[in-house]
A and B are shown apart, each in its own frame.
Chain A
Amino acid sequence: MKMIKAIVRPEASDLVTEGLAEAGYFTMTKIQAFGRGKQKGITVGEMHYDELPKVMIMMVVEDADVDEVLKLIKYKAYTGNFGDGKVFVTPVEKAFTVRTGMMGL
C-alpha cells in the first residue's frame, strides 16, 4: 500500500476529489494547510504572501493503483502556473478498519 499526499490549490481540491471518485477512488482525507514552494510564496504589488493556503488530499491506495491516481491528480490539478502543488508517495505497512478490526483497505 502507498499513501499519496497531494498538496493542491484549494479551488482545485473539489475537482481532484470528484475526478478521483468518478474513477472509483472515493476514500480520501482532506486537510487544510499553508505552505510555500520554491518561489517563496507570492508577491502581488507591494504585498508579499509568504505562506499560501493549500489543501492536502491524503489517500491510501494499493500499489497497483498509484500510477492511475497520480495521473488523475496531475490532470485535474493542472493549471500550468506556479503553485499547482506537489504530490508525495510514501509507503504504508499496515492498514486497519476500526469498525471490524480487520487488516487491509
Chain B
Amino acid sequence: MKEIIAIIRPKKVGRTKDALSESGFPSFMAVAVFGRGHQRGIAAEVNCELPPELLSQGKSGGMKYIPKRMLTIVVPDADVDKVVETILSVNQTAQIGDGKIFVCPVDEALRVRTDEHGDKAIL
C-alpha cells in the first residue's frame, strides 16, 4: 500500500474529487492547510499592489503562507501511477502554486467496522 499526499489548490478540489471517483478511487481525506513552496509564498497567486513606501520597508505584496488543501489517498501499490496521473492531469494550470504530490509507504491498514486488514481494508 502507498499513501499519496497531494497538496493542491483549494479551488481544484471539486474537480480532483470528480476525476478520482471516475477512475475508481472515491475515498480520500482532505485537510485545510497552509504552506509555501520554493517561491517562499510570494507567488503572484495571492498578490496585491503595495505603495512604494511600504515596499521600501522590505514588505512584499505576497502572503507568508498560502492556503492549500491536502488530500491523503491510500491505494494499493499497483494503482499509484494511475492516481498520480489523474491528480496531475486535473491540477496542472502551468502557473506556480499548483502543488506537490508525495508517495509514502504504508505498512498496514485496518477497516474498523469489519476488522479487515491490509489491501482488503482499503478496497
Contacts and interface: CB of A to CB of B under 8 A. Distances in A.
Interface stretch (A26-34, A35-43, A63-71): A26-34
B95 A99 contact: yes
A98 B9 CA distance: 10
A101 B88 CA distance: 6
A96 B38 contact: no
B95 to A, nearest CB: 7
B36 A94 contact: no
B72 to A, nearest CB: 11
A98 B104 contact: no
Interface residues of B, number: 35
Given A30-B65, A101-B88, A95 B101 contact: yes
Q: Name the residue in A26, A91, A98, A99 with the highest tally of chain B Cβ atoms < 10 Å from its Cβ.
A: A98
Contacts of A90: 104
B99 interface: yes
A30 B37 contact: no
Interface residues of A, number: 21
B105 interface: yes
Contact of B37 (A3, A27, A58, A96): A27
A29 B41 CA distance: 11
Contacts of A26: 36-38, 40-41
Given A90-B104, A97-B98, A28 B8 contact: no
Interface string A1-27: 001000000000000000001000011
Given A26-B37, A90-B104, A96-B88, 14 more contacts: A21-B40, A26-B38, A29-B33, A91-B105, A92-B103, A92-B104, A94-B80, A96-B84, A96-B100, A96-B101, A97-B98, A98-B6, A98-B101, A99-B96
18 contacts: A21-B40, A26-B36, A26-B41, A27-B37, A29-B7, A31-B34, A60-B100, A91-B105, A93-B103, A94-B102, A94-B103, A95-B103, A96-B88, A97-B98, A98-B6, A98-B87, A98-B100, A99-B93
Interface of B: 2, 6-8, 31, 33-38, 40-41, 65, 68, 70, 80, 84, 87-88, 91-105
